[in-house]
């Protein structure tokens, strides 16, 4: 089982960025925890602040991997292009968010990719990623 995690803009600042909303743990250390929790899964992690690079990664893994767990950050709410990429690939995508986007500003309530995702997990902190991986298993 091969799963790609994709994090979008500003998620490289996890741990430092608005810790009251996103927590105080960086993704690199959390990724090690994930790897130890799922030794049977080949887990890959990619982060980019650049919309086109996220699309390139979706194209690269989207015809061969078993699952993609994607937190597209603010692009979730704005990017027609990432939404189109999710629609165009074969690998199922689960959209995840650390915060509960529905408890926040209204502009975070819409997702450009949700309708082409297998499901959405939002509001469970970093555990959202873990729940998404479990769902693929």
Q: Catalytic site residues?
A: 22, 97
Which tokens go with 130? 């873990």
- Interface size with ligand DQA, residues (CB under 6 A): 10
Helix and strand numbers (H, E) in the chain are: 6, 5
Considering the rule CB under 6 A, would residue 48 count as an interface residue with ligand DQA?
no
Rank residues 57 and 97 by Cβ distance to ligand DQA and give the closer one.
97
**What's the token pair of residue 66?**
């078993």
Q: Which of 71, 79, 91, 111 binds ligand DQA (CB under 6 A)?
A: 71
DSSP classification of residue 137? -
- Report yes or no: 71 and 30 within 8 Å, Cβ to Cβ: no
- Closer residue to ligand DQA (CB): 43 or 98: 98
In the complex with ligand DQA, the residue whose CB is nearer, 2 or 118, is: 118
Binding site per annotation, positions for substrate: 71, 77, 84, 98-99, 108
* Residues within window 76-135 making contact with ligand DQA, judged by CB under 6 A: 76, 97-99, 101, 108
By the 8 A CB rule, do 47 and 12 touch? yes
Q: From the CA atom positions of the chain, what is the Rg in Å?
A: 14
Binding-site residue ranges: 71, 77, 84, 98-99, 108
**18: which residues sit within 8 A by CB, 6+ positions away?**
none
**Which residues are at the interface with ligand DQA (CB under 6 A)?**
10, 71, 73-74, 76, 97-99, 101, 108
């Amino acid at each position: 089982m091969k799963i790609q995690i994709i994090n979008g803009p500003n998620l490289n600042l996890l741990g430092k960025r608005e810790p009251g909303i996103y927590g105080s743990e960086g993704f690199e250390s959390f990724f090690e925890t994930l790897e130890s929790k799922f030794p049977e899964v080949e887990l890959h992690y990619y982060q980019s602040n650049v919309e086109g690079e996220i699309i390139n990664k979706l194209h690269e893994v989207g015809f061969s991997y078993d699952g993609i767990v994607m937190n597209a950050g603010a692009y979730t709410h704005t990017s027609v292009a990432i939404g189109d990429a999710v629609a165009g690939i074969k690998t199922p995508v689960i959209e995840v968010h650390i915060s509960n986007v529905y408890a926040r500003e209204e502009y975070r309530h819409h997702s450009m990719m949700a309708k082409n995702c297998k499901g959405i997990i939002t509001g469970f902190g970093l555990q959202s990623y873990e729940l998404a991986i479990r769902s693929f298993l």
